[in-house]
């Protein structure tokens, strides 16, 4: 019963391991060990031919039966679809490709995507993680990420966005570092209802205030190298309740901002650690 073995795809892409039961190999008709040729780079993706899979990409391991049924998806000829994950890194893409409905994790790092459309992730009910690191994204339709009931992690670092889009309350990680997010770039009370939010990274932007209120779940707040000049004594703590302790928030980075943390000595009494930043 075929499935395990090595598949040499298009000369460069070597997939080894047990792939039985995965939708990704349907069409391979289980002839174990026989090399399978896929028409990479042909059929409408002429822009990618010859440039996509440079070097060897080695994928090994077993993919579960809940894998992406990508056999009919042109995206899975161009990208690598495995066990719910779709990898489209470094393919010179200029837009988000159509994704298999079962996608849980989508990676499109190091491409040339300039815009995220509302339709790009429509009806993606299972998506948990989107990673668009190092593209050329300038604009995102504000509701583009709002139809995803399971979305937890969004990484859009190293792009050119000036506005952080609306995000669902299910978020646990938001990384929008190295962008152009400024004064009006964050919705009012954007993070308040994200009761599972753990990591909020906005390093190297132009943010000029701490985006309060922050949920109690938050562990890490990275705001280094922004333009924050002011903090209030109740930014993190509760001045009316001195028993209030914000245990989780142990990692606050404010270095590289024009702020003097010594001016608000009462602002840290509820925190397990004093923020990192200038105290002089």
Ligand X SMILES: *[C@@H]1O[C@H](CO)[C@@H](O)[C@H](O)[C@H]1NC(C)=O
Report the interface residues with ligand X, using CB under 6 A: 95, 117, 260, 262-263, 280
Q: How far is CA 112 from the centre of its chain?
A: 16
The smaller minimum CB distance to ligand X, of residues 22 and 45, is found at 45
Strands 199-201 and 173-175, bridge-based pairing: parallel
CB of 11 to ligand X, least distance (A): 30
CB of 17 to ligand X, least distance (A): 34
Q: Could you give the C-alpha distances from 56 to 18, 24, 52, 127, in angstroms and in order?
A: 19, 19, 11, 27
Residue 250 has which token pair? 């142990």
CB of 23 to ligand X, least distance (A): 26
The smaller minimum CB distance to ligand X, of residues 116 and 194, is found at 116
CB of 116 to ligand X, least distance (A): 9
Beta-strand ranges (E) seen in 124-254 are 129-131, 139-140, 153-155, 173-175, 199-201, 220-222, 251-253
The smaller minimum CB distance to ligand X, of residues 93 and 127, is found at 93
The residue number whose beta carbon is nearest to ligand X equals 95
Burial string for 206-224 (b: 16+ CB within 10 Å, else e) reads ebebbbeebbeebebbbbb
The smaller minimum CB distance to ligand X, of residues 217 and 260, is found at 260
């Amino acid at each position: 019963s075929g499935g395990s073995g090595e598949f040499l795809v298009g000369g460069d892409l070597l997939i080894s391991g047990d792939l039985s039961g995965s939708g990704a190999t349907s069409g391979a008709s289980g002839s174990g060990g026989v090399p399978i040729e896929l028409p990479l780079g042909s059929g409408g993706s002429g822009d990618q031919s010859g440039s996509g899979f440079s070097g060897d990409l080695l994928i090994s391991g077993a993919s579960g039966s809940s894998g992406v049924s990508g056999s009919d998806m042109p995206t899975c000829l161009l990208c690598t679809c495995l066990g719910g994950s779709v990898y489209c890194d470094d393919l010179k893409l200029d837009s988000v490709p159509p994704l298999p409905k079962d996608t849980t994790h989508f990676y499109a790092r190091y491409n040339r995507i300039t815009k995220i459309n509302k339709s790009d992730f429509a009806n993606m009910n299972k998506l948990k993680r989107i990673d668009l690191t190092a593209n050329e994204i300038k604009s995102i339709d504000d509701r583009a990420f709002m139809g995803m009931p399971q979305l937890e992690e969004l990484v859009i670092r190293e792009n050119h966005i000036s506005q952080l889009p609306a995000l669902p309350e299910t978020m646990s990680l938001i990384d929008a570092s190295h962008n152009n997010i400024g004064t009006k770039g964050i919705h009012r009370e954007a993070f308040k209802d994200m009761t599972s939010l753990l990591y909020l990274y906005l390093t190297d932007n132009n943010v000029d205030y701490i985006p309060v209120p922050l949920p109690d779940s938050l562990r890490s707040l990275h705001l280094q190298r922004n333009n924050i000049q002011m903090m209030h004594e109740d930014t993190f703590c509760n001045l009316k309740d001195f028993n209030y302790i914000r245990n989780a928030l142990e990692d606050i980075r404010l270095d590289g901002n024009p702020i003097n943390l010594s001016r608000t000595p009462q602002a840290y009494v509820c925190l397990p650690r004093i923020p990192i930043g200038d105290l002089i």
